[in-house]
Amino acid sequence: MFKFDKLVFGDAGWGDEFLIATLMTLLVSILSMGLGLFLAIITVWAKIIQNRITRFIANFYTTVIRGVPELLVIYLIFFGGNAVVMSIAKVFGYNKYIELNALTIATIAIAVISATYSSEVLRASYLAISKGQIEAARALGMNKFSIFFKVISPQVIRHALPGIGNVWQITLKDTSLISVTGLVEIMRQSRISSNVEHSPLTFLITAAILYLCLTTISGRIFKTLEVNYSKGFST
């Protein structure tokens, strides 16, 4: 039932393929988490500045993406992304066919999803900073940039770390959906291997164990970071 001999490294088994697939999952997760955090910061900024239009756009974005299945968002970006990029390129006078590679599309798709979750976490932790802090910084004559980097960011990071840890877990698990685009990550690899070896159970359980390891290890890392960042605060 469970064929251990199919998981050895080298030509006889799928061990090395799975190792590469795991690294691909990690790569997509890290890239899209980073891009997602960047998008989330823009979204939070759009929500907290007193501008009705930006706030509407940001709210529309987070509501729609969070109300629509992740799979649908991925399909939309995977199948519709090329058309969008080509129509943008046309504006700049480039008329040839453009095809984005699977990794780019995967990263963008997962980032767009993960940014909506991150933005809620970041917004909550921004609101948790007392106004007095920002006012005090202003009274000291700090400009906007140093207020952002020296007063707001360190506190937001401390407040947001547990929430960001959760978003990371969600993002990591969402990368499994990327398999529908053909990018060879853990899920796709397990489908390929089970089609070749006619033993889905073996490779799907392998995939489950790999995901479990990834989530557990990264959970530990986030715990350590949390302890590190809340030094001097009784939590």
Partner 1 sequence: MIEFLNSIQNSLIYKNFFLVLSGLDNTILLLLISLPLGFVLALLFALGRVSKITLLSRTIASYIFVIRGTPLLVQIYLIYFGLGSVKFIRESFLWYALKEPFWCGVIALTINTVAYGAEIFRGGIQSIEKSQVESGLSLGFGKFLLLRKIILPIAIRKVLPSYGNELILMVKATSLVSLTTYMEMTGIARKIMAKTFAPVEAFIAAGILYLFLNFLMVQFVKYLEWKYNPHLRLNN
Residues at the interface with partner 1 (CB under 8 A) = 1, 64, 66-72, 75-76, 79-80, 83, 173-174, 176-177, 179-180, 187, 190-191, 194, 198-201, 204-205, 207-208, 211-212, 215-216
Looking at beta carbons only, is 14 or 211 nearer to partner 1? Answer: 211
Cα dihedral 111/113/119/121 (nearest 10): -110
Give the C-alpha separation, 138 to 46, whole Å.
21
Looking at beta carbons only, is 49 or 213 nearer to partner 1? Answer: 213
Looking at beta carbons only, is 32 or 137 nearer to partner 1? Answer: 32
Give the C-alpha separation, 150 to 125, whole Å.
16
Rounded to the nearest 5 degrees, what angle is found at the Cα of 76, between the Cα atoms of 72 and 81?
Answer: 155
Looking at beta carbons only, is 166 or 230 nearer to partner 1? Answer: 166
Q: Are 175 and 162 in contact (CB under 8 A)?
A: no
Q: Are 6 and 199 in contact (CB under 8 A)?
A: yes
- Minimum distance from residue 87 beta carbon to partner 1 (Å): 11
- Minimum distance from residue 230 beta carbon to partner 1 (Å): 21
Q: Give CA 167 to chain center in angstroms.
A: 8
- Minimum distance from residue 109 beta carbon to partner 1 (Å): 12
CA distances from 136 to 49, 123, 152, 154 (A): 19, 21, 12, 16
Looking at beta carbons only, is 100 or 204 nearer to partner 1? Answer: 204
Q: DSSP secondary structure string, 142-155? A: --HHHIIIIIIHHH
Looking at beta carbons only, is 66 or 223 nearer to partner 1? Answer: 66
- Minimum distance from residue 73 beta carbon to partner 1 (Å): 8
Q: Are 112 and 123 in contact (CB under 8 A)?
A: no
Looking at beta carbons only, is 114 or 152 nearer to partner 1? Answer: 114
- Minimum distance from residue 155 beta carbon to partner 1 (Å): 25
- Minimum distance from residue 33 beta carbon to partner 1 (Å): 16
- Minimum distance from residue 72 beta carbon to partner 1 (Å): 6
Q: Residue type at 97? A: Y
Q: DSSP secondary structure string, 7-48? A: GSSSSSSSHHHHHHHHHHHHHHHHHHHHHHHHHHHHHHHHHH
